[in-house]
A = this chain, B = another copy of it.
């Protein structure tokens, strides 16, 4: 609970009235001068500007907004994580897209809703304090109840890095990305392909990458073997752990599709520690084109993370400008061949 006496936040800031007095004009003229209205004489404007500068005057955004003045828009940026590369990188793009060429820019309110509690708190609370003009939901799917909450709020919503049916969104086709990865392994001749899927489906909605894995195998005529699909915690340790489990199988896979590059990195480590060579003994492919993928020479399916942010930011801007809800965009993914995939050893050349 924070109490604000007088002029919010400022030490002892001058008010518009002070500026007006010093400049020898009325309050209204001072206001108009500062807002660059055309109907104030250049000389007067100068005088007001000088007075404002001299007094270190700064407008009260609250009063300004309240009085119906134009003002910098506020948008909520809602993310479940921040220490994961994907989210940070996307937010960097988002900033670019939101800034656009607008000198005023947009204020971004950051909401970290990692756990269920935080998430609930956010959706309960946001509407209760009509604080934003738009919201960007990054990397997770809002459920129906949350959706209603947001609509009630009346703000524009854009979803980035994860689908969210009713709202404009910018994503990649996770199913296709998964297919690109698994099909690559299939084409190399692999038949026994494991998958390291992630728990935490809340992060990305229904796991289309896992679906892609299944359908790719069906299409390739490979008999289904549920043992080969293991669910792990997100991150390299999870991947390492999952790979161990896969290696413990009676017939381990000759290739592994990891939900993400970080998981793939963990898998590679386990393989190396187990004395297996990558890709000679086991192939590994991930998704994201995380910096670590380049570092480890990891074959992966790249997705344009930064660009998803940029596009989402731009969508918000058009929404804010009162434009039509922009159509959702699906950005392309691309297989990046590196050194962790090769034909299986037993395969005919």
> Which residues in A have some Cβ–Cβ distance to B below 8 Å?
1-5, 7-13, 56, 58-63, 65-66, 68, 70-73, 77, 81-85, 87-89, 91-92, 95, 102, 104-105, 107-112, 114, 121, 127-133, 152-155, 235-237, 262, 265-266, 269, 291-292, 294-295, 320-321
Additional A-B contacts beyond A1-B102, A110-B110 (17; CB < 8 A): A1-B104, A2-B320, A8-B65, A9-B133, A9-B153, A11-B153, A61-B62, A61-B131, A62-B63, A82-B88, A82-B89, A95-B112, A107-B131, A108-B109, A108-B110, A109-B110, A237-B294
Chain B residues lying within 8 Å of A63, measured Cβ to Cβ, are 62, 66
Give Cα A320–Cα B83 distance, bound, in whole angstroms: 26
Give Cα A114–Cα B89 distance, bound, in whole angstroms: 12
Q: Is the CB of B10 within 8 A of A73?
A: no
Q: Is the CB of A73 within 8 A of B8?
A: no
Q: Is the CB of A2 within 8 A of B133?
A: yes
Q: Is the CB of B295 within 8 A of A236?
A: yes
* 10 residue pairs, one from A and one from B, having the closest CB atoms: A11-B154, A82-B88, A83-B89, A83-B88, A110-B110, A108-B110, A88-B88, A95-B112, A62-B66, A62-B65
Chain B residues lying within 8 Å of A292, measured Cβ to Cβ, are 236, 292, 295
Give Cα A169–Cα B22 distance, bound, in whole angstroms: 39
Given known A92-B83, A109-B109, A110-B108, contact A9–B130 (CB-CB < 8 A):
yes
Stoichiometry, copies per complex: 2
CB distance from A137 to the nearest CB of B (A): 15
Q: A114 touches which one: B92, B105, B107, B130 (CB < 8 A)? A: B92
Chain B residues lying within 8 Å of A88, measured Cβ to Cβ, are 81-85, 87-88
Give Cα A291–Cα B263 distance, bound, in whole angstroms: 12
Q: Is the CB of B85 within 8 A of A112?
A: no
Which single residue of chain B is at the shortest CB-CB distance from A269? B295
Which single residue of chain B is at the shortest CB-CB distance from A2? B73
Chain B residues lying within 8 Å of A72, measured Cβ to Cβ, are 2, 129
CB distance from A59 to the nearest CB of B (A): 7
Which of A59, A77, A295 has the most chain B CB atoms inside 10 A of its CB?
A: A295
CB distance from A197 to the nearest CB of B (A): 20
Q: Is the CB of A71 within 8 A of B4?
A: yes
Chain B residues lying within 8 Å of A11, measured Cβ to Cβ, are 152-154
Give Cα A56–Cα B61 distance, bound, in whole angstroms: 25
Q: A107 touches which one: B1, B102, B109, B155 (CB < 8 A)? A: B109
Given known A61-B129, A66-B66, A70-B2, contact A294–B236 (CB-CB < 8 A):
yes
Q: Is the CB of A1 within 8 A of B61?
A: no
CB distance from A90 to the nearest CB of B (A): 9
